[in-house]
Amino acid sequence: MTQVRPVSSMPGPSVAALLARGMGPLPRPFDGPNVTFWNSARVALWQAAHALGLRPGQTIAVPAFCCGSELDPFLAAGLKLSFFAIGDDLSPDPVSFAQATEHASAAMVTHYLGFPADLRPAKEITRQRGIPLIEDCAHALYATQDGKPIGMTSEAAVFSLRKTIALPDGGALYLKTGQVRTVAKPPSPDIVQRSTRKLVSLTLRTHPLAFVRAAEDLRRRMKAGRRNPAQAKLEAADDIQWDLQPFTADHSDLGMSSRSLRLFRASDHEAVRASRRRHYQMLEAALSDVRGLKPMKSRLHPDACPLFFPVLVEEIATLRRALANESVAAKHMWPLLHPAVPWERFPRERIWKENMLGLPVHQSLQDGDIDRLVHVVKRWSRT
């Protein structure tokens, strides 16, 4: 029988959300006419580029500190990329932003990990240059800024809904004015079904009742045949592999599934935000002064809805191993170096990519999970 409840890096859907049939309300701005739903934030970025009238050969300014997948839609749209640096507060560096936008026709800024970036200089610069600003809110569902849902004061904003809540797919595009030029195509039911099954399995594998976990582990073991137990333990704790198709122009009109829309409507939006903030604050209090690890953010901003608790760790592999040994997952934020970024010009962003770990704070966790996570981190720090 599985003794320890694994701590996953992503939430699973609650049984209530899976069974919900009624149509709960969508939060602002997703209930309004300015939002369209897409398969992912990547598709939404492609749609944003087209709705804003960007043409092949034009340049868009983008942050060098990036996951990489947010660059692909622009490259597929034939745009050139001009990179800018990010400051210690994870906001665009104003001098670097001004340089990168000098010959650009648009700019994109990112609200990393659910923390609203300070966009005042970027907004002033894009206003002076007369170019549109796209806010990448892929991590920032339920975050706010200037008293509004995040992203609503720029020309466009994109969201990756499935990063914050457990959905088989889902992205969204907010356009302040204008319209998308495409009608969204429904995704393949097979892919939606496969992704949903993985999410349900995650919920069962991390269920508070040991016999539910054991039954799901047994089902998976029987399905997979004999597997190396160490590997199985890592897989159990690690995050889910998404069945999103890699972005190409062929997928640029792929919509969000009706199942994701239903699960999004069934989500308790305020409770998700409150739970993430609460878990973050628990980690903040416990890990502010731990040797070998530095929290990326000094305090939780009242507008933030954190995706993870981000820390910089030099010995990232040893900490990940220590966590995995206790079935605790954490997300290495972006080990892949996208070849379009001139990394030699952005050494700090590269170090962040190599050393940044996102500790889970999501809504499926219980306080005991956070305590266990803290215990493992502190024990690792002492060795």
Ligand X SMILES: Cc1ncc(COP(=O)(O)O)c(C=O)c1O
What does the binding site for ligand X look like in residue numbers (CB under 6 A)? 40-42, 67, 69-70, 110, 136, 138-139, 160, 171
Tell me how far, at minimum, the Cβ of 162 lies from ligand X, in Å. Answer: 6
- Which residues, in sequence order, are CB contacts of 314 under 8 Å at separation 6+? 292, 355
Q: Are the C-beta atoms of 32 and 281 separated by less than 8 Å? A: no
Tell me how far, at minimum, the Cβ of 217 lies from ligand X, in Å. Answer: 28
Q: Which is nearer to ligand X, 164 or 364 (CB)?
A: 164
Q: Which is nearer to ligand X, 282 or 305 (CB)?
A: 305
Q: Which is nearer to ligand X, 41 or 204 (CB)?
A: 41
Q: What whole-number distance in Å separates Cα of residue 43 and Cα of residue 74?
A: 10
Q: Nearest 5 degrees, angle CA 310-CA 280-CA 333?
A: 20
Q: Which is nearer to ligand X, 40 or 144 (CB)?
A: 40
Q: Which is nearer to ligand X, 47 or 363 (CB)?
A: 47
Q: What whole-number distance in Å separates Cα of residue 373 and Cα of residue 34?
A: 40
Tell me how far, at minimum, the Cβ of 228 lies from ligand X, in Å. Answer: 29
Q: What whole-number distance in Å separates Cα of residue 78 and Cα of residue 301?
A: 37
Tell me how far, at minimum, the Cβ of 358 lies from ligand X, in Å. Answer: 11
Q: Which is nearer to ligand X, 160 or 206 (CB)?
A: 160
Name the helix (H) or strand (E) containing 351. Answer: helix 347-355
Tell me how far, at minimum, the Cβ of 3 lies from ligand X, in Å. Answer: 33
Closest of 2, 9, 4, 1 to residue 202, by C-alpha: 9
Bridge partners, 360 (sequence order): 308
Tell me how far, at minimum, the Cβ of 163 lies from ligand X, in Å. Answer: 7
Residue with tokens 């990393």: 112
Q: Are the C-beta atoms of 116 and 131 separated by less than 8 Å? A: no
Bridge partners, 175 (sequence order): 156
